[in-house]
Structure 1
Amino acid sequence: MAHLREGPTIADLAAELGTGTAALDHACQSARGKRAIDLMHEVRLQRAVEMLREGGQSPAQIAKELGYTSHTHFTRSFVAATGQRPETFRDQSS
């Protein structure tokens, strides 16, 4: 998960795996039924949920650690996926 902080691109991940972006995307669709970028967003969201439940960091810190461009971008993505603001989610998970 440390890679998330650096905001890897699909091209970065493909290169690390020794393949091209189209091949990685095809493999992800074949194996999981989703594009590589969608899976990457899913992993970030899952980690954000874990971090919010742990409660040790603010949503702004979580956004930075997971490679979101801003707290606002993180909040928009989180709301789109869960229907709740990160702060509300954390408060309800406590």
Structure 2
Amino acid sequence: MYQRRTLQLVHSVSFSAKNSEFNKWRGNLQTANGQCLKDAKITDPVFVDKLNAGYQPKNNCLVTVSLSMPYQPYPEWEGEAPCWKLIAGVIEL
């Protein structure tokens, strides 16, 4: 049986953040073995405050990736509500 990981610490060798609509930050990361996470919502409040102040993140960092509670983005969504990947914490090295 496949077990889902709901919280994972990932070493990122490439990390970037962008401000999306409604002043919500999204992040992209890539690991040393080429795994990517793109356009994940950043929910770390301290890191978001730094980004709002103009801070540019470093590439080399540890990122806590978590799964959200099931969320149906709009009423017409077909199938089960998915769990979205979130960037819950960023520790720069």
Q: How does the TM-score come out when normalised to structure 2? A: 0.25
Higher relative contact order (CA 8 A, sep 6+): 2
Structure with bigger strand share is 2
Structure with the largest fraction of helix: 1
